[in-house]
Amino acid sequence: MARINVGVLASGRGTDFQSLVDAKSRGELDVNLAVLICNVPGAPVIDRAGTAGVPAVVIDHRSYGKDREAFEREVVRVLREKRVDLVVFAGFMRLVTPYFVREFPQRIVNIHPSLLPAFPGARAQADAIAWGAKVSGCTIHLVDESVDGGPVILQKAVPILDDDTPDTLAARILEQEHVFLPLAVRLFAEGRLHIEGRRVRIDARGIRIPPMA
């Protein structure tokens, strides 16, 4: 199977992007990281891309005002230019429009810091603690036109401790994101994901899937 081109969209520190770079360096992920697109000028992820030798393109969403689709059209132009097969949202802090989803149907992967469908949205860790939940975690899922509602690829449970704050819980969830995001990208790249409606079946023959509980 030919090596796929992956385009990563990120907005901040870039630790999830770094997890892909590191997995590739370890020989655990055989993909071409074709481009990093960042919507925040000066974000640390841009330097990470430079260190890793991944082309980085900054497209400041603020330049487009409230015209989300105009911003997305420029992003899509770059992704097409780089012949991207899979788009990965790695800490990309923007909601996308149906236009963007239709450009890459079932080929956009996102990370969310909860066990979806519980606690969607931008305050997942704080919402889980406020609710009194005993378990949270991370979800790697395909992006559809809903908010955090696409078919689930992988999930990893993380217990919520009595003294947790949103920051401490987020840090422990992030550790698991760094394990499961590269794995999800590998599963896609190797053609191991089979989508049946809302269910994503995984062909795990010859590969170890870490415990998700």
Same domain, 52 and 93: yes
pLDDT at 148: 84
Q: What is the pLDDT of residues 85-116, one digit of tens each?
A: 999 999 999 999 999 999 999 999 999 999 99
* Domain CATH for 81: 3.40.50.170
Last residue of a domain, one of 54, 78, 104: 104
How many structural domains are present in the chain?
2
pLDDT at 63: 94
Question: In DSSP terms, which residues pair with 9 in a beta bridge?
Answer: 37, 89
Same domain, 100 and 187: no
Same domain, 6 and 72: yes
Same domain, 99 and 131: no
Same domain, 142 and 62: no
Same domain, 136 and 76: no
Last residue of a domain, one of 104, 127, 157: 104
CA distances 154 to 63, 157, 199, Å, are 35, 10, 11
| Number of neighbouring beta carbons within 10 Å of residue 202 | 15
112 noted as active-site residue: yes
pLDDT at 26: 97
Q: What is the pTM of this model?
A: 0.95
Same domain, 162 and 205: yes
Q: Which domain holds residue 146?
A: 108-213
Same domain, 22 and 67: yes
Run means of pLDDT, 10 residues per run, the chain, 213 residues: 92 97 97 98 98 98 94 98 98 94 97 96 95 98 90 98 97 98 98 95 95 91
- Active-site choice (61, 112, 141, 178): 112
Same domain, 125 and 165: yes
Same domain, 68 and 136: no
Same domain, 77 and 139: no
Last residue of a domain, one of 80, 104, 128: 104
pLDDT at 1: 62
Same domain, 116 and 212: yes
